[in-house]
Amino acid sequence: MLYDLPKEILEGLRQARRRDLGRKNRLRLHVGDQVLAILRLWDGGFSMDADTAPNLRGFVDIYDGARQLYQCLIVCSSLENGERIYEFKRQTAVVDEPPKDYYVEPDAPVALLR
């Protein structure tokens, strides 16, 4: 059953939904000295609040709290339902240790004693 709601109520519901997404989410976008809140993140991109999000393009860092998740190359693609949608051209996960260029046996010793 669908109801036709007045525009003011629909706008209020939309703003409440965006506010809730921003509160629950710890995801942040770091661009230089700017820190911006991310509303949603998926495999091909992310979205931000259209009212506060700048028209970004280039290299950015995505953090979950204090932990860096990705280094990304992004482009702004569209505006949908009060959200500015960005797409990844490149998304690289940040790791804690350098990659190994050799195979490590699963049962290999951690250290050798002499």
pTM, 2 dp: 0.67
- The side-by-side arrangement of strands in the sheet containing 57-64 is 34-37, 27-31, 57-64, 67-80, 83-93, 45-49, 40-42
> Residue 66 is encoded by which pair of tokens?
């204090």
The candidate with the shortest Cα–Cα distance to 53, out of 32, 83, 23, 74, is 83
Measured from the Cβ of residue 75, the count of other Cβ atoms closer than 10 Å reads 13
> Residue 25 is encoded by which pair of tokens?
């989410």
For the residues 26-55, what does the mean pLDDT come to?
88
pLDDT of residue 22: 54
Flag the least confident range among 1-15, 29-43, 78-92: 1-15
Is residue 80 left, alpha or beta, with left meaning phi > 0 and alpha meaning psi from -120 to 50? Answer: beta
Residue pair 84/50 in contact (Cβ under 8 Å)? The answer is: yes
Flag the least confident range among 36-40, 44-48, 87-91, 110-114: 110-114
Q: Which domains does the chain have, with CATH numbers?
A: 26-93 (2.40.10.430)
Say which amino acid occupies 30. H
